[in-house]
Amino acid sequence: MTARSAHRLSRRQLLAMAGAGVLAGLTPARAATGLRVATLDWAILETLLTLGANVVAGTELLQFRDVAVTPSIPTGVADLGLRGTPNFEVLYAAKPDLIFNSNFYAWADDRLRLTAPVESHAIYQPGASPYQRSEEMTLAIAERLGLPTGRALVGAMRAKLETYRIGFSKGDHRPILPINLGDARHFRVFGSDSMFGEILARTGLANAWPDLTSYSATAPVGIERLAAMPDAWIVLVPPHPAEALVELQQSAFWKALPPVRQDRVLLIGSVNPYGALPTAERFADLLAGGLTRAWNG
C-alpha cells in the first residue's frame, strides 16, 4: 500500500466512524427494570439514555429532539415542560425513584425532593473541564444505578477521539472556529474551556478563538471579529435563527471573508453546547465528517 492510499484509507475510516456513533452503538435496550429516574438537565438526560437507564421523565423533550438530536427518547418518557418552570405534578405522576439534577437547576432541589431523593452533578463550572466532569458523571451515574455501561462509554469515546486525532494530523492544520449565530451581526463562540473547545484540543485541532469563554461560550461577539481570523475554518453550529443565516449569506462583509471566499465554512448538524459525552461524540463526528469531505473535495 502506498503512502497516498494509506492516507485515503484513513479518511474513509474517519467518515465511517463519524457515521457510526460509537457511544450509540454501545447503548443497550432501555432498561425494563431498575430504578426509575428523572432529570431536568439535558446533559444528564442524554447520559442516562445512553447508559440505558430507566428514564421516566425529562424536560422539553420536543426541543431536545431538535437541538440535541441524539440519543433518541423512548416512548413513554414523560415531558415535564420547560426546564425553567417544570411541571412538578407530572413529575410526581411519573413516580421516579431517584432524580438527578445539576447546578443549573439547583433552585428546584427542595421541590424535587418532595417527589424523590435528589442527587446532583455539575459539568459546567468556571475553571473545570466539562469533558472530565462528563466522564466523572457518567461513571458515577452508572455505578449508582448498577449499570455496566459507564466504563465502556468513557473508554469508547477516548478511543474515538484518539482515532480522530491521528486522522486530523493529516489535514491542513488550520485552526477551527466553532460559532453559533445569534443574528446576522452577532455570534457566540466556543473557547478552549468549552465542550467544543475541549474536543478540538483532544483531537489535535487548534481553536482559532484565542480567549477563554467562561466554561461555555462568549456572546454576543460582533461579526466583524471574524476578520481577525483569516486562516480559520469557520464551523457554524446550529441551531441558528433561520433568518440570521439567510441574511448573513447575503452580507458583503461575510462574502469578503477569506474563509468564505476559499470555501472554508462548514455548516454541521445541530448540537447542544451544554451536553455531556453523547454531545461530545456528536460534535466530534459531525466535525470529522465535514472536515474530511472538505479536505477530500
d(CA 101, CA 91): 13
Q: Which of 96, 131, 148 is the last residue of a domain?
A: 148
190 φ/ψ sector (left φ>0, alpha ψ -120 to 50, else beta): beta
CA 84 to chain centre: 20
Whether residues 107 and 219 share a domain: the answer is no
Could you report the per-residue pLDDT of 173-207, keeping only the tens digit for each? Answer: 999 999 999 888 989 899 888 999 999 999 999 99
pLDDT digits over 52-91, tens only? 999 999 999 999 999 999 999 999 999 999 999 999 999 9
Domain containing 263 equals 174-296
37 and 127 in a single domain? The answer is yes
Angle, nearest 10°, between helix axes 42-51 and 150-168? Answer: 100
The pLDDT of 274-297, averaged and rounded, is 93
- Pairing relationship of beta strands 186-189 and 176-183 according to DSSP bridges: antiparallel
Higher local confidence (pLDDT), 19 or 225: 225
164: cell is 480522530
pLDDT-derived band of residue 17, with 50, 70 and 90 as boundaries?
low
Backbone phi, psi, residue 240, to 5°: -115, 150
pLDDT of 297 reads 66
Q: Are residues 32 and 143 in the same domain?
A: yes
Higher-pLDDT residue of 295, 145: 145
Domain assignment present for residue 23? The answer is no
Q: Indicate the pLDDT class of residue 6, thresholds 50, 70 and 90.
A: very low
If one counts the domains in the chain, the total is 2
Q: Say whether pLDDT at 18 is over 70.
A: no
The residue count of the chain comes to 297
Same domain? For 97 and 181 the reply is no
Residue 216 has pLDDT above 70, yes or no: no
